[in-house]
Structures are given as C-alpha cells and as structure tokens.
Chain A
Amino acid sequence: MENEEPRIGVFVCECGVNIGGYVDTQAVADYALTLPNVVYTKVNKFTCADSGQAEIQIGIKEHNLNRVIVAACTPRTHEPTFRACCKEAGVNPYQFEFVNIRDQCSWIHMWDREGATAKAKDLVRMGIARSMLLEPLEESSVPVDQNVMVIGAGVAGMQAAIDFGDMGYNVYLVEKEPSIGGRMARFDKVFPTNDCSICILGPKMVEVGRNKNINIMAYSEVTDVEGFVGNFEVTVLHKPRYLDTDICTGCAACQEVCPVEVPSEFNENFGTRKAIYIPFPQAVPLRAVLDMENCISCKACEKACEAGAIRYDQEPIYEKLKVGVITVAVGMDAFDPLPHNNYGYGIYDNVITTMEFERLLNAAGPTGGHVVRPSDAVEPITVGFINCVGSRDVNENIYCSGGVCCMFSIKNAQLLKEKRPETNHFVFYMDIRATMRGFEEAYNRARDLGVKFIRGKPVEITEKENGNLIVRTEDTLKGEIVNVEVDLLVLGTGLVPNQGVRDMGSILKLPRSTDNFLTELHPKLAPVDTTTDGVFVAGCAAGPRDVAYSTAHGSAAAGRATRLLSVGSAPIMGITARINEDACVVCGICVDKCPYGVFEIIGTNGDRHVNVVEALCKGCGTCVTACPTGALEQSHFKSDQVLAQVKNVFLYGGE
C-alpha cells in the first residue's frame, strides 16, 4: 500500500448553504480534478450525512482510491467521522486529509465569493500535496493494569475510590493528611441544605474504610510517577506516624497524657492539639499520629499506650505501586489573606476567614460551637461578611470561586442568625452567584431571616478601640457611601490551587491553566479527562467547585477511567514521534525538550542511542522541531508533509 501510486478522491461538501452559498464548490471540485493524481471528485450536499459518507465509500470502490480528501468543515469535530468512513472502505484512516473550507472560507469571506473560492482552491491544493505524502499508520494499544490509584481523599477522591471499589477494582487511596475526609470534614454545615457536614461525610468515610477493595494510605504522598497509560509505576511516601497502626486502637490515651500543646490545624489554629493526637473524632483510619517536630521525647505516650503501639524509631517508607489509571483529587486551599493583609486580616484581631468561622460555629470546634470574637472571646452581635476576598480581583485572582464563597457567607449568616436571633448580619457582595439547585432558595431564606445584603466592595476597614470594625463601602444600589460597624468581620475567601495541584502538575505533566488549577482535556466535553492518557482529575484540583459538584466529579472520573480498565487495553495514537536511528547523533536535545519523558539515552560509549517510549508520547512534535539532524519525525505531521502544504500555498507563474 505504501508504494502504491496515489489515487486521490476529493469530496467537496456544500454543507447545505453553509459552504455552497458562499463558495463555488463545483469550481473547486473541477479545479481539483486538474491536479496530479486526483482521479475523482464529487460535490456532496452534506458529506458527513449517511448519504455523503456512502458517496465517499462508493467513490473509493469504483475508482480504487487510496487517498481521500474531504473539503468541508473542521477536523476538530468531523475528522473521526471521515476516518472511520475511510477505514470501512479500506483506506487507511491516516491517508484521509481534511480541508476546512467552511470555517476557513465560506463563513469568514461571506461577501467575497471569488476570494473565498480562490482560497478554497489553494487549500484543496495544499491538502492534496500533503495527502500524497501521508503514510498509512496503525493505532496500537497497551494492556491496562487493573489496579487504580486515587490521589487525595477528600470528598471527590473518596467518591471515586468507592465507585472503583464497588466495581471490583483494587484502589490505592493516597491521602497526605493522617485521616481521609479532606476539607469537608472541617465544615460545620454544607449549603444549601445546611446538613451537618461531618454527619453526612462520616458515614461515607466509614464506607471507604470498610470497602475491602480500597487500601487507604493516609499520611502518605505521591512523590514520583513513571510509565504511561495502563502501566504507571507510582512511588508513594509513607510518612512515619511513629506508631504501629496495626496495633494502635485509636483510644486516645496517648493524647491525654501528652504534655505538648500546639495550634490545631484541623481547627484552623484556633485551639490546640497535642504533639501526639487523633486527627479528629471521626478520623479514618482512627489512629493516632505523632508530630515529631513538636515532640519533646518525654515518652509519656509510650507509657500510656496499653497496646504498646508507639515506635519512636519509625522511618519514612517509599513504596512502588503499579497501577493502570490515576485519579487526581488533591483539592484546593482557601485563599490566604495574611500576606497582603486583605481587609485588615492579620492586623485587626476581629477579622477572620470563612474557614475559621466554620470551626467556631462547629459544636466539636475549639469553642464548642460558640462563635466568639478573637479579641475578647465575646459573642458578637453584629457580624459582617465580605465576599469575593481573593476572587474577582485583579490584584489577587481574577476568577470567581464558583459561587462557593457567596454560599458560605449566606449559609453562615443564616446559621448564626438561627442560633442567636439577636444577632445582626451584613453581607457585602459584588454579585450574589446562587446558581445551582436550591441556592437561590437559601439566599431568599437568609434574607427572610433578616440578613442584610449590601452590594458593594468595601474600600476601607478601620478598628475601633473596643475591637469593633468599621466597614466603609459604597452601597451601589443606593448610590451612597455607608459605614457599617460590626463586632466581627468574616472574609469570604476564595478557592486557590494548593501545593498538591502544583506537585501533581509537575509529577504527572499536567498542564495548568492561567488560574493555576489543572486543565481538563476539554472544559465542556471532557471535564474529568486530562491531556495525559490514563490520568483523570476530580474535584477542586481542576477549579473551584462545591461539594455536590466535586462528588459528581469523583464518580465521573471513576466512570471515565473504568472504560480503560474494563476493556483492559488503551489505544496509542498514531501521531507519535519516531526516530531514524541512522540519522540520530544522540545529542540528547529531545530528552530535555520532551515534557513527557518519551526519550532516554541508553547504552554506553559507542552503543549510546535514544530510546523512544512511544506510549508516553502525546504527539505535540516539539521534539521534532528541536532535533537538529531531522532524525526525529512526528508521524502524520512529518516535516515534508507540512512543507508540501507550505510550498502549495503558492503558484509559479499561474496554473
């Protein structure tokens, strides 16, 4: 097939009037027939319709075509259709060439029929020249290991793990904190229904713990990933808890005797925990962890531990695991207002963040559910909430945190108002984004309760001697400047990418968007896939979202990944990098340029050569451009194929 004289068929689509109305399609087809190796042309009303595809297949059979060109719309949507059509009729799908005369001609030169037609002829000529050089390619596949890794055990990761586990796949659920549960475990209630967060999350955590297909690896981190779709080798660091988790019963006797008190991360540093501690009462696994940095080696815990679980000499353990697919659900951070002292945070005692407020509100929190202000531990009467802190702000992050902060403020004002009706609440907002199901109702409920909403971005916060704060803002609905005195001010901080997102971005070679969250393969049509085959993303790692969305995302990621697991093999694209060993001088430039680690230099001295791991290649072609010798080529985008297009943009001395 490779050495066959090209016999090219050109099919020009009218796309109804979309193309036919603005381009002389028959003239394009007639012109194509004058070009070398073109043996058949046809104008179709709709090439992509069944009838149009049938015309291609008939053309292939009757004229013994071995190259097909469709001049129609965009390869970004219709290339798979025509490739499949060609394949059915015996033409290699990679010897099909798509010429876009709709988005490139008819739609953008609607009032220049001649210009559009002339350009369409040029584009078809370029396509034909390229098509002559196209080589038949076979798509290969690799087997998929049946083990699964989920990185991050917040609500999205837990949901993914449960779904994988329930479908019968063995799951490694890696969590950097000592317990699974993630952010949601720290919330008091969740909007819009105001369920007790841990009351609904707790059972889910227990479900994860009980699922015999899920191996929880808490207090562990992924440090390296090698391999490719279906065949990843993941290095997991198990951080030492300084106790034998098989023996520890989670009785908390150690925590009681420990004399060291340090700020509690779980409680947003309000209140304290011990140096050896149970992360929180509902923790899974329910095991203690010793924070060696703060340990004073008094060994009180060792004496108190009846089970004899304490191991002061524990070392970090690195474990290598083979998995077929990876789901990244590493979550996010709340925006930190401390570095820029937004709205006086860090300067004025009584300015706190939403997450801090959550813990104060929580019955199991540091104040037993009494919201008090930090300066004097008095329960506030008037509370202000500022939305969009660190979001929708050109100085911090321009994006909206998905309405999450709006809803947090609405919910928290409502909860405190319900708890203590004597309190007053002001929410300072730019726009209320209550877009999901039940959100608008929650917003109305808060207003009905008497929460005041002031549309304006506060410009200045000043502190009075008694610790109260004056919030100065324009009420943009009234068009006047207002000064509101509050006892406590809560900042509705936005969501930002965390260190896990950055680490996973570099370890798994996942691109990050301008907002620095991970980028999905497609924001709409592939929202949990990533550009790395076999790696999926769930939850806030790919952008701010709420609990319901994150949970759905977790299930979606598991579902997408299961396609590969259940089939047991993953396709490898045909447009990968290939090397011509004879021309390669082993300069190693490609090794540095490739973001996916496709190339490695192996062998010593005279035997040195570049090994190409095709399965890792995503087909960007950057290496080909970098290769000084031309030893590297990208299949289907070979330099001579591209140059054929370049040369055929132009005509020497007319036709």
Chain B
Amino acid sequence: MDIIRAVGAEQLKDNAENFRIGDTIKVHFKIIEGKTERIQIYEGLVIALNNTGINRTVTVRKISYGVGVERIFPIHSPKIDKIEVSRMGKVRRAKLYYIRDRVGKAAKVKQLMKRKLKKNA
C-alpha cells in the first residue's frame, strides 16, 4: 500500500458507508459544549458522495423551516457516532444536484422497495 493511503488507513471506520445516494439518513453527530458532550441528529437526503479513503465525505440536504440546508460530513470522522438509513431511495444518478432546483413534491426521491427497511430496522 502506498504511504499516503497507509497514513489514513489507521483512522478508517469499518462499514462507515452503509447507505447510498438517494437514501434518507440520520447522522448522529457529537457536539462538545465545554465539558459535556451530546449527540445531535441531522436527517436528510444524500445528494452526493465525494473523495476516497479518509477524505470521503457525504453531502446531506434537508429543508429546515422552509430553507434548504446542506451539510457535508467526513464519514470517517470520530465526531460521527453512527449513520442510520431511514428510507431508501431509487435514483439513477450519482449526484442529485437537480433536487436543489425543485420545490415541494417535485423534490422527492422515489422510495426503493426492493431492499426495503428489513436490514436496517
């Protein structure tokens, strides 16, 4: 293995990418406030996966109080407790940026019935 990948490999999580593009996921994100630590859940649609190895990130979009919010999480970050899939989506592209231009029902992704919730429930 080349040396750059070996450096990141130590911090890689097992099975961190347990979701696909188009899925709706819940990201359990650790927030440190002074001494206390709490977990915040951010739920939204996976519209993009970028980079490889330790740099792998996921872009999660949701509508919050009528405003579109996108957060980019490094999926191997120790700050991420876990990622749950709440709904599987059926999509035909790797990047769902077209969702940004759509409002309401048009911005929905069809649910994928084939590999439905059983595994993740």
A binds B: no
